C-alpha cells in the first residue's frame, strides 16, 4: 500500500487496515488509496493525538472520521460495542483503524474478526499479535469480552 502516513500501514484485508498514528496531512493520500473512513482509537489527551486536526483533515479529504477513545489501562466494553458498529456501517468501509502503536487497533479488530466475521477466538488472537497486539492485559480483555458476551 502506498500511503505515506508517518508510519507503516498494514493492510489486513480489503475492508480494513490498521496503522500507527499519522499526521493530518496524510488523509488525502488515504482517500486516494481508497479508504472511506478513519477510526481513531486515541484519547484526545494523549500526546500527539491531534484529534480535532485529524477530524478536520479527514472531512476535507472526503473521509468519514470516527473517534472512539479506547484506553489500554481501563478498556471499556461500551467502546468495543461502538467500534463494532463503526466497522459494520457501509459508509465507513474500507476503514483505516489506528491508535498510536497498533496495539488497540489490533485488539479491537480481533474482536470484530470473531463477532462480525465468525472467526475462532484463537485464530483472531494470533492475527492480532501479528498486527501489533503486545499488551497481555489488553489481549485478555479481548478474550474476556468475546467469551462473556458470546452471542
Q: Across residues 26-35, what is the average pLDDT? A: 90
CA distances from 7 to 2, 19, 98 (A): 11, 7, 11
pLDDT mean across residues, the chain? 87
Q: Across residues 79-86, what is the average pLDDT? A: 97
Closest by CA position to 72, among listed 44, 111, 108? 108
CATH of domain 10-146: 3.90.190.10
Q: Across residues 119-129, what is the average pLDDT? A: 95
- CA-based diameter of the chain, in Å? 40
User: Rounded to whole angstroms, how far apart are CA atoms 7 and 66?
Assistant: 20
Q: What is the pLDDT of residues 34-51, one digit of tens each?
A: 999 999 999 999 988 889
Give the start-to-end residue ranges of the domains of the chain. Answer: 10-146
CB 96 within 8 A of CB 38: yes
Whether the per-residue pLDDT at 28 is higher than 70: the answer is: yes
Whether the per-residue pLDDT at 14 is higher than 60: the answer is: no
Amino acid at each position: 500500500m502506498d500511503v505515506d502516513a508517518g508510519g507503516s500501514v498494514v493492510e489486513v484485508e480489503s475492508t480494513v487496515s490498521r496503522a500507527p498514528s499519522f499526521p493530518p496531512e496524510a488523509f488525502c493520500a488515504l482517500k486516494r488509496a481508497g479508504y472511506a473512513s478513519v477510526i481513531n482509537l486515541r484519547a484526545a489527551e494523549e500526546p500527539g493525538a491531534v484529534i480535532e486536526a485529524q477530524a478536520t483533515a479527514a472531512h476535507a479529504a472526503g473521509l468519514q472520521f470516527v473517534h472512539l477513545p479506547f484506553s489500554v489501562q481501563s478498556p471499556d466494553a461500551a467502546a468495543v460495542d461502538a467500534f463494532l458498529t463503526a466497522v459494520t456501517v457501509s459508509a465507513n468501509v474500507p476503514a483505516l483503524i489506528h491508535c498510536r502503536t497498533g496495539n488497540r487497533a489490533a485488539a479491537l479488530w480481533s474482536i470484530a474478526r470473531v463477532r462480525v466475521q465468525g472467526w475462532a477466538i484463537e485464530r483472531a488472537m494470533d492475527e492480532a499479535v501479528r498486527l501489533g497486539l503486545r499488551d497481555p492485559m489488553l489481549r485478555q480483555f479481548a478474550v474476556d469480552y468475546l467469551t462473556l458476551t458470546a452471542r
